[in-house]
Structure 1
């Protein structure tokens, strides 16, 4: 009987240890442990499909991570805070888009660098932000051109 209790304690301890290791790994992968990054904020009408911990990409290369998504109740927009590598010097007119490289991958925040000479500084707010396009809208755009919506590029 003592032997059964001992093996149950050992097995339970092992399961608990594995759970703790997994938790620490999960938290570390969602946290920016590097001090070589700076924070920016983007304002979206909708941050649907984006989550804290999502990659921030530039030219398909991960350069940061989404750290916070909060609703601004006054302006009724989603403020998405994210970090990027300090080595990046992004132009002031850069844009951000919520999207994914493939239809099966998670959404990420994609940076589209602008051409301005002035650069974004730590804590800057990017207002040129586009939310993700739904799968239904993508299919409609493919079948019907622009889905019957007025074109933004029309004169």
Structure 2
């Protein structure tokens, strides 16, 4: 009887140890190593569809993570805080937009680097942002506009 109980205790302990290890791994993969990133802020007219924890993508590659979304009561603009990989040195005229890189992907903060010689510093505020377009607006623009095709 005592032998069965000790086996159950050992088995339960191993299960808890594996579950704890998975939790630590999941937490580390979500935070993405914050010491290798620096904080940046952006101001949007609307942060519709964006959520805390969303990826920051550049050319289809995740380069950061959204850390906060808050409404500025003075300007009624959405302040989006996010982090960028320290290896990136983006120009100050970088443009940000909110969208989905593919039809099946989650909404992300999309980075389009600019051409300026000056570089963003940690804590910088980016105001060169584009309002997010809903799927309905994108389809409407394509149907009733030229869909981004060159005009004749």
CA–CA distance in 1 between the matches of 2:11 and 2:138? 50
Question: Which residue in 1 is equivalent to 2:112?
Answer: 112
> Are 2:135 and 1:135 equivalent residues in the alignment?
yes
Tell me by how many angstroms 1:12 deviates: 8.8
TM-score scaled by length of structure 2: 0.79
Partner of 2:67: 67
Q: Deviations along 1:52-85, whole A, 9 cap, x unmatched?
A: 1111111111111111111111111111111111
RMSD: 2.6
- The answer to whether the 8 Å contact 1:44/1:80 transfers is yes
Shift of 1:13: 8.1
Question: Aligned to 2:38, what secondary structure does the other structure show?
Answer: strand
Unaligned runs of 5+ in 2: 1-8, 148-152
Give 5+ residue unaligned stretches, structure 1. Answer: 1-8, 148-155
Determine if the alignment matches structure 1 residue 103 to structure 2 residue 85.
no
Deviation of 1:33 after TM superposition, in Å, equals 2.2
Q: Distance in 2 between matches of 1:94 and 1:57?
A: 13
Shift of 1:32: 3.5
User: TM-score, structure 1 length as denominator?
Assistant: 0.77
- Tell me, yes or no, if the aligned pair for 1:98 and 1:109 is still in contact at 8 Å: yes
CA contact (8 A) 1:92 1:114 kept: yes
Query: Residue in 2 aligned with 1:49?
Result: 49
- Cα pair distance change 1:22/1:130, threshold 3 Å: farther
Structure 1 residues 120 and 25: CA distance shift in structure 2, 3 A: same
Change (3 A) 1:112 1:12: same
Paired residue secondary structure (1:140): helix
Question: Equivalent residue for 1:93?
Answer: 93
Between the aligned partners of 1:114 and 1:102, the Cα distance in structure 2 is 22
